[in-house]
Each structure stands twice: as structure tokens, then as C-alpha cells.
Amino acid sequence: MTIKTISVILAGALMLFCAASTIGCCTRLQGGAQGKGIHNDNGEMKMAGFYDYTLTSGTGETVKMDSFRGKVVLVVNTATGCGFTPQYAPIEQLYKDYHDKGLEILDIPCNQFGGQAPGTDDEIHSFCTLHYNTTFPQMKKADVNGANELPLYTFLKSRKGFGGFDEHKYKKLLEEMFSKADPDWASKPDIKWNFTKFVIDRDGNVVARFEPTADMAVVEALIVKLLDEHNK
């Protein structure tokens, strides 16, 4: 192993440690995610669903989840300087292959994990289009954990908590780092890392959560299944 390779590994481990410490802080602040109630047209209280939330696009427009009724939606928090950043490529391929069949992708840049998305919304957009030719919608950079997390993420985490990392070259390192930051980290629903994915079916149900260690082929298989169900 060369000195350069060792340096890269150590640098990556340091970034993971810093991010794990940040996650531990966010976990303590949040203390668990709960769906919120809203009033319907008759003034009655009901639990909010996926279609009741909004996001802000990278260019400042309001994006209503209600506009995605009847679609399969993939929501993913992203970063431009992460070991999982190359996942932009297969995510873009999903969009190219299945957008016309009913798939929508919502990319939410987040700088909470080791400061790996430090740029402005414009800089992040330029990076993604230059390096990965992305065409799926990019939302405004936002928090997905803690006191300032997006309400949509409070809802998503209340529906699908953390179920463990998949077998992956980063699995052991991630688990060790998080354990040092918070002994109870695995029992909490917080987003653990960049490129965590939620899949919402055509009826607005949150049907799956995939950690960044998940095989993208497994993510694709579920999306194809949900899209095909509409055609049966």
C-alpha cells in the first residue's frame, strides 16, 4: 500500500469521525421523529401525509409534494465531497430510464455530515451537471436532522427508521465511528449519512428506506416493481 493510498484512507476516516460527532449531536437534539398533525378543509385535525409537505427548489421555487400524486418518488440527501458521491451516476440513470414511466427524484443537498456539501446551491448544481450530467430536480440545501431539519424529513423518519447498514466496504468504519459518538445511535431514526434514500409509492406511502450502503440494483428493483404495479 502506497503512502498516498494510506493518506487517502486516513483522510476519509477523519471526515467520517467528524461527521459521526455531528450526527451524535443532531440525534440528541432531535430525540426521535414524529409526524405532525394538520387541519383539513373542515377544520378537523388529521395526521400529515407525504402530499401535505413542500420543499424549496435550488432556484427558490416552492415544490409541493402534492404535485407528485400518482408518481413513484425517490427522496435522497446528497453531498458533493463524499465517498458515496459517485452514486449520482446511477441515480441519474434511474431518472433517465424511468422518469417517463412515472419516477420522480428529489435531490436534497445536505452539509450536516462532515461538511461534505459546502458549496452554494448554484455551485452544487454546477458540480453535479459537470461531473455527472444530472438532470433530476435539485432542492435547496437543507438540514435533514436536528432542530432545523426539513419537516418532510421529520415525517419520512417517522415512517421508516434506521434498519442497519448493508454489507459494504464502509460498513464497519461507519458503525465504529457512530458508536463512539453515541452508544444508542442505531436505535434512533436520524439520517446517518449522505445518500440515504426514501421511496414513496404512487399512493404517497413511504415504502422503503435505503442506507447509502445499499446496492443501487436493489433500489432500482423496488422502483421497477412499484412502477409495474400501476400497469397491471
The SS3 call for residue 147 is coil
Q: Pairing state of beta strands 45-47 and 206-210?
A: unpaired
Residue whose entry in the numeric block shows the C-alpha cell 427524484 = 105
Type of residue found at 58: G
Tell me how many domains the chain contains. Answer: 1
Using a 10 angstrom Cβ sphere, with 0-12 exposed, 13-18 middle and 19 or more buried, the burial of residue 122 is exposed
pLDDT tens per residue across span 71-91: 999 999 999 999 999 999 999
Q: What's the start-to-end Cα distance of the chain, in Å? A: 53
- In the chain, the percentage of residues whose pLDDT exceeds 90 is 77
Residue type (1 letter), 166: D
How far is it, in rounded angstroms, from Cα 111 to Cα 144?
A: 9
Q: 160 CB contacts (<8 Å, ≥6 apart)?
A: 189, 198, 206, 208, 209
pLDDT of residue 120: 96
List pLDDT tens digits, range 175-223.
999 999 999 999 999 999 999 999 999 999 999 999 999 999 999 999 9
Q: Could you tell me how far CA 198 lies from the centroid of its own chain?
A: 7
Cell 452539509, located at residue: 111
Q: Which is the catalytic residue, given 26, 82, 110, 128?
A: 82
* Average pLDDT value for residue range 226-231: 86
Would you state the pLDDT for residue 122? 97
Q: Cell numbers at residue 200, please?
A: 414513496
Q: Is the dihedral of CA 184, 162, 62, 94 positive or negative?
A: positive
| Residue bearing the bigger pLDDT, 81 or 24 | 81
What is Dmax (Cα atoms) for the chain?
Answer: 68
As a whole number, the mean pLDDT across the chain is 86
- Check if 26 is active-site: no
Give the range of the structural domain holding residue 192, as residue numbers without chain letter. 3-231
CATH number at residue 186: 3.40.30.10
**E-assigned strands of 4-126?**
37-39, 45-47, 54-56, 62-64, 72-78, 103-109
